[in-house]
Copies of this chain bind each other. A is one copy, B any other.
Amino acid sequence: MQYPQPISKLIEGFTKLPGIGPKTAARLAFYILDMNEDDVMDFAKALMNAKRELTYCSVCHHITDTDPCRICQDKDRDPSVICVVQDSKDVIAMEKMKEFGGKYHVLHGAISPVDGVGPEDIYVPDLIKRLQDETIQELIIATNPNIEGEATAMYISRLVKPTGMKVSRIAHGLPVGGDLEYADEVTLSKAIEGRRQL
């Protein structure tokens, strides 16, 4: 005998999630069986609703339940500054900081010739179009500090700079709370390169 069919279905569902192997999936499934029925129903509904109700903002491509998204609709935010990020999760990280008052553009990826991802596979053409339409004065490129992110930043800045727009890249350096001793050479070299007068 194996698991009764409803359990094995549930275990199978959990196994599809990242970082969850068959043992953890079985543990979670048995936990679900011991949970309050209302909580389980709420969770199941949340799963369905997340797929059904969420879409991408037609302006900035951030994940949203209204179109345009709340950030694009917000009249208190400065429409002249756009921060370009790779992913919706990056928007949420930026928003947690509570210091950026501009708008966003989510690329949904980065240029990576090795993986066959070119500028037209992510929302770069959309960004260029958006820059022509709106009264945008500054572009902050906040793609990830790795090869793909840097390539994307470089590509966008080369396209946009000739138009005279202000284009900047977020700083690289030591993370706050980090330790110089454990910093890698590239980060340290970026930190020296980007030093600021006190």
Contact = CB atoms under 8 A, between A and B. Distances in A.
Interface in A18-67: 18-19, 24, 26-33, 35, 37, 39-51, 53-54, 63-66
Interface stretch (A6-14, A150-158, A184-192): A6-14
- The size bracket of the interface on A is 35 or more
B92 A3 contact: yes
Nearest to A77: B1
Copies in the complex: 2
A178 to B, nearest CB: 19
Contacts of A95: 1-2
Interface of A: 1-7, 9-10, 12-14, 16-19, 24, 26-33, 35, 37, 39-51, 53-54, 63-66, 69-71, 74, 88-89, 92, 95
Ordered nearest first, which 9 A-B pairs have the shortest CB separation? A13-B43, A9-B46, A44-B47, A44-B44, A10-B46, A4-B65, A10-B50, A13-B46, A6-B50
